[in-house]
Amino acid sequence: MNISEVKLPDGIHATVLTGQDVYMRLPLAYPVVWADRPYQECPRCDQPINRTTETSCPVMLNTGSGQGGQIEEFDQQHRCGEWLPVLWQEVPVAGDEVTEGELAAAAQELAVRFQGAVEAERAGIRKSLRDDLAEALKRLAEPLVSGETAEERAEEVRTGSEVEPGVRQEDGVWLAWANDPLDTDPITIDERDLEESS
């Protein structure tokens, strides 16, 4: 079976790790599937990272680690020290070679885990946006100090624009927005959302 011809869920990739057992001198082949990262920036330092991992399998086959070898993760540490994990799993194989059904089943299982990680990331983004917007609205509601204008206060709390994520005003409504982890429509929270949840 040619793995590259198998249709996998979006964000899921596959390969076969191959090598030779250094003790038994037998060929080894372990199919694995892995996912893209569910975020585009380092959680610690906010630097952009490669979310798509299609060309960089996160694991390797260490053929010298014992009979049968062992699958080990590559170092995923960012330069700031944060570990940027990649979801992956070995494909269970019943016979001598992985089948399309076995690969598809493992890929689908991993896709469910990946989607859960994406939804958790989105939930975290929404919470952060709510907190940022609530803080901005609180500041806007505070009395102006002597000599301060409403425009100056608005400029103080504005951290974003139409192209830069953050807090901004649109058509008289304050909102906070951020990019979606999967590059779909931006995630937006506006002051009406805060009113509905209070």
The one-digit pLDDT tens for each residue of the chain (198 residues) are 788 889 999 999 999 999 998 888 889 999 999 999 999 999 999 899 999 999 999 999 998 877 788 999 999 999 999 999 999 999 999 998 999 999 999 999 999 999 999 999 999 999 999 999 999 999 999 999 999 999 999 999 999 999 999 999 999 999 999 999 998 899 999 998 888 776
**175 is in which domain, residue-wise?**
128-197
Cβ contact 110:88 at 8 Å? yes
Strand, helix or coil for residue 150: helix
**Does the pTM of the predicted model rise above 0.85?**
yes
Inter-residue contact 74 to 38 (CB < 8 Å): no
Answer yes or no: do 59 and 107 share one domain. yes
Query: For tokens 């090598």, what's the residue?
Result: 19
State the total domains in the chain.
2
Same domain, 9 and 65: yes
Name 5's Cβ contacts closer than 8 Å, sequence gap at least 6.
none
Give the ranges where 62-190 is alpha helix by DSSP (H): 100-141, 150-157
| Spatial CA neighbour of 184 closest among 118, 85, 128, 132 | 118
CB half-sphere exposure, 119, CA atoms < 13 A: 6
Last residue in a domain, options 119, 146, 161: 119
Taking each helix axis as running N to C, give the angle between helix 150-157 and helix 100-141, from 0 to 180 degrees, rounded to the nearest 10. Answer: 150
Domain boundary among 119, 151, 173: 119
